[in-house]
Structure 1
Amino acid sequence: MLFYIIAILVLMIDQLSKYLIRIYIDINETFTLWGMQLTHIENSGMAGGLFPGNARLFGVAAVLFVIGVLYIRRNGDMKGALIDSSFGFLVGGAIGNGIDRLMFGQVTDFIPRSGGILNVADHAIEIGMLLFIIYVVVSWWKDKR
Structure 2
Amino acid sequence: MKKNLWFWIVGLVGFALDQLTKYWVVQTFPNIGDTIPLWLGVFHFTYVINTGAAFSFFEGGAKWLRWLSLAVSLGLMALAWWGEKMKVTEQLGYGFILAGALGNGLDRFLFGYVVDFFDFRLINFPVFNLADVFINVGILFLLISSFSPQSSH
TM-score, scaled to structure 1: 0.87
Letter in 1 for 2:23: Y
Q: Deviations over 1:13-63 (max 9, x none)?
A: 100110111122121111145995211100011123232222121011011
Write the mapping of 1:56-135 to structure 2, written as runs, cut at 5 A.
Answer: 56-77=63-84, 79-113=86-120, 114=123, 115-135=125-145
The alignment's C-alpha RMSD in Å is 2.0
Letter in 1 for 2:59: P
Q: Deviations over 1:62-109 (max 9, x none)?
A: 110112212333454561211111111010111000011110000100
5+ residue gaps, structure 1 = none
Does structure 1 retain, via aligned residues, the 8 Å contact 2:55–2:132? no
Letter in 2 for 1:27: I
For 2:33, the equivalent position in structure 1 comes to 28
**Count of residues in correspondence between the two structures:** 141
User: Deviation at 1:121?
Assistant: 0.6
**After TM superposition, what 4+ stretches of structure 1 lie above 3 angstroms from structure 2?**
32-36, 74-78
Structure 2 counterpart SS, 1:53: coil
Identity of aligned residues (%): 29
5+ residue gaps, structure 2 = none
